[in-house]
Structure 1
Amino acid sequence: MSHSNPAAGPIEAELPHQGARPGAAEPAAGIPRPAADPRTWRRVNRDLIAKSLAEFAYEELLTPVADGDTYTVAGSGDVRYRFRARRGAYDAWHVDPASVVREWEGGADPAEDMLQFLLDTHTVIGVSGDTAGHLVRELTATLAADAAIAAGAVDAATLADLGYAELEGHQIGHPWIVPNKGRVGFSASDARVYAPEARRPLRLPWLAVHRDLAVFRAVPGLTEQRLYEEQLDPATRERFGRVPAARGRAPEEFVWLPVHPWQWDETIATLFAPELAAGRIVPLGEAEDRHLAQQSVRTFLNLDRPARRSVKLPLSVLNTLVWRGLPSERTLAAPAVTAWVLGLRDADPFLRDECRMIMLGETASVTVRHPVLEELPGVPYQYRELLGAIWREPLAPRLDPGERARTLASLLHVDPAGRPFVAELIERSGLAPRVWLRRLFHALLPPLLHCLYRYGLVFSPHGENTIVVFDEHDVPARLAIKDFVDDVNISDRPLPELADLPAAAAAVLLRERPDYLCQFIHAALLVGHHRYLADLAVTHLGIPQEGFWALVREEILDHQAAFPELRDRHELFDLLTPRIDRLCLNRNRLLLDGYRDRPTRPHVGAHGTVPNALHP
């Protein structure tokens, strides 16, 4: 990448490892070899075609027709795809990748070309040409990432011994969204450095930003000075403090924050070039700790000092439907939301003592506004989310001796030999699969249900936000939850428990109808995770679909019976309705939003309804 801007020279000198593309720091050896061999490439294509058939059928983008013991989907011309599939709750489809065949008049081949599948089906789905072009890019990047993961795949037993941060680099991404690792903006060399599957520790560069651009917020009792003392070693703080002083600026004029190395190179050094030239943004150099990117790509855990806060940084990359920046107003409000939510937990004996629920609060934030882009009406939202940071409480110090944590998403992982990660954990626990699943649901559901019923409050408990804490025998014991400012919503009803909501939090938290709040549990947890876990239970644990969902329903009913005084809330927030809205993630990208720039983030759309697996 060219750095012709006159401000770039001295900036790169101060950040010698971050000023250029990561590939430039690698040995010059010509064009690198392909990331995948032909066999692996065919396999990841086959798997993504099967996922596409399943998710596009679920969202009614394609219509499979039963044909004996198989199903067929019509493509353009005389092409059709034939496959075997299992049906599941919520109108789910689970397609056998090995069964998918592309047929045409006079011939048939195994379906092993995802881009050919797109060519064959895009007119049937109704994908426009401009959307299809961008989609090819996202699909190809996803396939390349899948191939990289496959190249470094290990067995379930090895995964079970990994730590929380390290396990993240082995996951395959969002189970519902087809182009789930598109990461539009990353080059091939960027992906080799910054993607979670790269499993490459990084030291983060820091910036000093003048207070006329930057705003610091924190929970009560956490000052800027204390944050820096807890996050940085004394020598690093001293080194950082000398940089503004060497330029004749008082250190107290500035707020410090880390920046993603890619974001610095791609966005900050260019879009903030006037502020860099004026000395209102000053590069400080790298901090000492190594960090590891998590599945969200923009969140980093501290490898060297796990007791230090994790950090969430904006990244001007389009991935899983949205640009991965940090919205200014929500970043500013993150500590206020955290203080309120933690206050509810700490004052509630059920959440605090019985569930022992861990809430990883966003305790400090810095928001940096762009002096021009923030003032332009209708500017695409990606340009209002460029620079800032959120510090989140670390998980490690909140675990008891013998406990270990894994994201809920990890339970869907299947190793190269076809062994599910969840089966490995169940075997290690010594429990019967049905008993283990009951323990899992008991760890997850009561705290989520209590927040909904008692406070009219929902998180978005999808696989990445939801963390399962296991005991020393790998039995699910309790819940940890994160990502408050982006994914906490509250009831639009005037519940007394919401009367003391702080103004800063009230200004950003979305208020939704009771039935819509229920969708956060249905769509994020049950449809977004458990419909896949239910299929693993059928195929590997010997538990039928009806038995799996009966366990979920029983946990909800048991919780309701334990709080009869909240009967009116159980009815208000009714999770047991006969049908629920069919929320659609792929339909949003393919038909509703496409890749157009817009001033606000897109919202998930609904398309019809599906039977509710919890309905008696």
Structure 2
Amino acid sequence: MKARTEALDLSNPVSILPTSVDRTHAVLEGGNDHPVPALSEVEPAAWKEANRRLLAKALGEWCFEEMLKPVQDGEGRYRVDLGSGTSYVFSAKPGAFGWMKVDPASITRSATSMLGNSIAEPAWDALQFLTDAASTLGTDPSTLSTYFLELSSTLAVDAARITHGGSTAAELRALGHTELECHMTGHNWLVANKGRVNFSASAVRRYAPESRQPVRLLWVAVHRGLAEFRGTSQLSEREVLARELDEATRSRFTRVLTSAGLAPDAFVWMPVHPWQWDHAVQVLHAADVAQRRIVPLGESTDLYLPGQSIRTMANVTTPGRYDVKLPLKILNTLVWRGIPPHCTLGAPVVTQWLQCLLDSDPFLVEECRTVFLGEVASVTVRHPYLSKVADVPYQHLETLGCIWREPVAARQDSSERVRTFASLLHVDGKGTAFVAELVRASGLGAQEWLQHLFDTLLVPIMHVLYRYGITFNPHGQNTLLGFDGNDVPRRLYLKDFVDDVCVSFTDVPERGPEPDGHDHVLPRKHPSVIRQHVVDQVFVGHFRYLAPLVSEQLGMPEQAFWKQVRKTILAFHQRFPELSQRFAEYDLLTPQIPRYALNRDRIVVTRYTDRALRHALYPNGFLPNPLARE
């Protein structure tokens, strides 16, 4: 990791920018503000291509979620008739779970002309499609307008990426975990996956992961009447600060407080995202800033890069230091990206419990070598006024706080590369899938490589699910894969404990005493819902897209792909027959699974209603499970 950090030349942060970006402006140096770098103009052809791809994605996902009703229009051709009087015709390949992979080059749009005749023309405009489909989707003008903003923002980023070009799959193979994150393109299921409501265009250029701009975090001191530090049993508050800040920086911050006549030990120190400080903290907490209950201390010397979630920052100056999860008052991929106080309060407690439980499991530790990246310390700050009012929208209550998480760099082997599960789905500008690049580089056949993937990914997840009734909601960013020097998957890393860990409400003796006997910090759900986390995030959310890529680029038929997944599950069942009752309780092979429609939830169900709590998704129909077939 150290060698890779030096190769990036982080002493000159501009070197991380794509080569096509205008480098006439510097980024933050020595704590001074400079104009953010301006992106080159997006080429018209790139805008059309970005739209064409997103239009195909929208057709596929909205039909999959039954917001639109496709009818067959010839062999491999489908037609969607909209209430606006327009029709879209396209070619698509049916896949697992009733999904169709739409060919972007095949789409045509027909609309009645001024002369009364219907003319079919090549279709590429995703924004036009949204307005054409509005009445059919059943949404309202206010929701449509805000979703239009999210879709347009997504297209702007995608078109800029196409204009500037990008790294090939072979080049991405050489990158470390943090750098690779900055090359990913967002949530594969959600159509408007880079909406980032509240971010300006300049904020996207400065703080979004694809901009690859290093960020220095602002540190603040929050009076202990407002803030509470928590850590695992191994960590004190002073130990966290000594690890995260060098002695010179700690002395500098101390002088800020003492020169103002304030006692440093009367405050909890914590990092704040610079955008959040400017747009949320100084506004919502203006009273506390004015009365010196919140005191800005200055910037840290370390540089950070954001991951795909934007709010989680990885230290690239000193990679062994913690990742930092910070709230951002932006709406992205269905929710406001703050951090609830119950999460900051519960993170170290849940981490301590899980690591004591799972690190004592010989199968996970010795055979699987699974790594659980703990959320080891946190600071909670409640709003002194709004937190006392019932039903205040949660976006206003989650503006200040932080969670420190163990970094990948501190746990990986020297010869190991760690990549997100989601990265396997990435396709470069030449059409090469990252999974295909890794398989070819390994020297293994597709079936053998995939078996390593399935064993590495599914076996630990199934073990935790069946033996303990626990799931990590293993979506593509929470789930990391450790690869050996030949790019073969060898072990699993899991993160995001307090946000996404759920336990079954059934009695599971193996869990032992739980951390929330009185005040619950763990969501408790029916076993079928616990099971659904694995089904949705791994099978529907990732394998649904991975299987076609493997078929197209590695020559392994989709049916063979799903058959191999099923064999992996059954092999686990055979190895641990003592858990047979739980195999039925958390049935992964059931013929039908509930459909949880993510895009429909935003456009039709939840819309943009300002809620007091994060909402729960409810199923919308059922999907055929490809794993149920022999």
Task: Classify the TM-score, shorter chain.
Answer: over 0.9
Q: Paired residue for 2:293, among 280, 289, 292?
A: 280
Q: Paired residue for 1:71, among 68, 75, 78?
A: 78
Structure 2 counterparts to residues 68-467 of structure 1, below 5 A: 68-69=74-75, 70-104=77-111, 105-150=117-162, 151-467=164-480
The CA deviation at 1:19 is 11
What is the one-letter code of the residue matched to 1:25? P
The CA deviation at 1:34 is 6.4
Kept in 2, the 8 Å contact 1:170–1:197? The answer is yes
Equivalent position SS for 2:616 = coil
Alpha-carbon distance in structure 2 between the residues aligned to 1:477 and 1:350: 15
What is the one-letter code of the residue matched to 1:89? A
Kept in 1, the 8 Å contact 2:70–2:78? The answer is yes
Kept in 2, the 8 Å contact 1:100–1:110? The answer is yes
Kept in 1, the 8 Å contact 2:36–2:205? The answer is no
Q: TM-score, normalised by structure 1?
A: 0.94
Alpha-carbon distance in structure 1 between the residues aligned to 2:88 and 2:397: 43
Alpha-carbon distance in structure 2 between the residues aligned to 1:614 and 1:46: 32
The CA deviation at 1:77 is 3.9
The CA deviation at 1:204 is 0.6
The CA deviation at 1:35 is 4.0
Q: Paired residue for 1:575, among 570, 574, 588?
A: 588
Equivalent position SS for 2:437 = helix
Alpha-carbon distance in structure 2 between the residues aligned to 1:166 and 1:212: 39
Kept in 1, the 8 Å contact 2:36–2:202? The answer is no
Structure 2 counterparts to residues 527-566 of structure 1, below 5 A: 527-566=540-579
Q: TM-score, normalised by structure 2?
A: 0.92
The CA deviation at 1:572 is 1.5
What is the one-letter code of the residue matched to 1:403? E
The CA deviation at 1:499 is 4.0
* CA 238–295 in structure 1, closer or farther in 2 if over 3 Å, else same: same
The CA deviation at 1:18 is 12
Kept in 1, the 8 Å contact 2:39–2:205? The answer is no
Kept in 1, the 8 Å contact 2:84–2:135? The answer is no
Aligned to 1:25: 35
Aligned to 1:12: none
What is the one-letter code of the residue matched to 2:35? A
Aligned to 1:59: 65
Alpha-carbon distance in structure 2 between the residues aligned to 1:319 and 1:362: 22
Superposed CA offset, 1:530-586 (max 9, x none): 100011012111111111111111111111111111111112111111100011100
What is the one-letter code of the residue matched to 1:416? G
What is the one-letter code of the residue matched to 1:533? L
Alpha-carbon distance in structure 2 between the residues aligned to 1:155 and 1:467: 21
Equivalent position SS for 1:285 = strand
Kept in 2, the 8 Å contact 1:585–1:605? The answer is no
Superposed CA RMSD in Å reads: 1.6
Kept in 2, the 8 Å contact 1:18–1:265? The answer is no
The CA deviation at 1:36 is 1.1
Length, aligned pairs only: 595
Alpha-carbon distance in structure 2 between the residues aligned to 1:458 and 1:517: 6
The CA deviation at 1:25 is 2.8
Superposed CA offset, 1:192-232 (max 9, x none): 00001000111111000000000111110200000011111
What is the one-letter code of the residue matched to 1:273? A
Aligned to 2:22: none
Alpha-carbon distance in structure 2 between the residues aligned to 1:18 and 1:216: 29
What is the one-letter code of the residue matched to 1:132? L
> Runs in 1 of length 4+ with deviation above 3 angstroms?
16-20, 32-35
Kept in 1, the 8 Å contact 2:208–2:310? The answer is yes
Superposed CA offset, 1:219-249 (max 9, x none): 1020000001111111111111111111111
The CA deviation at 1:506 is 6.1
Unpaired runs of at least 5, structure 1: 1-15
Q: Percent of aligned pairs with the same residue?
A: 50
Alpha-carbon distance in structure 1 between the residues aligned to 2:491 and 2:424: 15
Q: Paired residue for 1:39, among 38, 45, 50?
A: 45
What is the one-letter code of the residue matched to 1:223? S
The CA deviation at 1:131 is 0.5
What is the one-letter code of the residue matched to 1:59? E
Aligned to 1:10: none
Alpha-carbon distance in structure 1 between the residues aligned to 2:519 and 2:64: 36
Kept in 2, the 8 Å contact 1:337–1:505? The answer is no
Kept in 2, the 8 Å contact 1:357–1:447? The answer is yes
Kept in 1, the 8 Å contact 2:433–2:549? The answer is yes
Kept in 2, the 8 Å contact 1:336–1:505? The answer is no
Alpha-carbon distance in structure 2 between the residues aligned to 1:34 and 1:301: 27
Aligned to 1:9: none
Kept in 1, the 8 Å contact 2:420–2:480? The answer is yes
The CA deviation at 1:108 is 2.4
Kept in 1, the 8 Å contact 2:84–2:133? The answer is no
What is the one-letter code of the residue matched to 1:471? D
Kept in 1, the 8 Å contact 2:86–2:109? The answer is yes
Superposed CA offset, 1:5-35 (max 9, x none): xxxxxxxxxxx98999x7x7348xxxx6764
Alpha-carbon distance in structure 1 between the residues aligned to 2:101 and 2:606: 26
Q: Paired residue for 2:601, among 576, 581, 588?
A: 588
What is the one-letter code of the residue matched to 1:448? I
Kept in 2, the 8 Å contact 1:35–1:147? The answer is no
What is the one-letter code of the residue matched to 1:303? V
Bigger drift between 100-109 and 184-193 goes to: 100-109
Alpha-carbon distance in structure 2 between the residues aligned to 1:147 and 1:85: 24
* CA 394–268 in structure 1, closer or farther in 2 if over 3 Å, else same: same
Equivalent position SS for 1:173 = coil
Equivalent position SS for 1:389 = strand
Alpha-carbon distance in structure 1 between the residues aligned to 2:431 and 2:168: 9
Aligned to 2:17: none
The CA deviation at 1:605 is 2.2
* CA 19–54 in structure 1, closer or farther in 2 if over 3 Å, else same: farther
Alpha-carbon distance in structure 2 between the residues aligned to 1:523 and 1:35: 38
Alpha-carbon distance in structure 1 between the residues aligned to 2:288 and 2:501: 34
Equivalent position SS for 1:462 = coil
Superposed CA offset, 1:463-484 (max 9, x none): 1111011000000001001101
Alpha-carbon distance in structure 1 between the residues aligned to 2:577 and 2:510: 17
Alpha-carbon distance in structure 2 between the residues aligned to 1:298 and 1:120: 34
Kept in 2, the 8 Å contact 1:405–1:467? The answer is yes
Equivalent position SS for 2:620 = strand
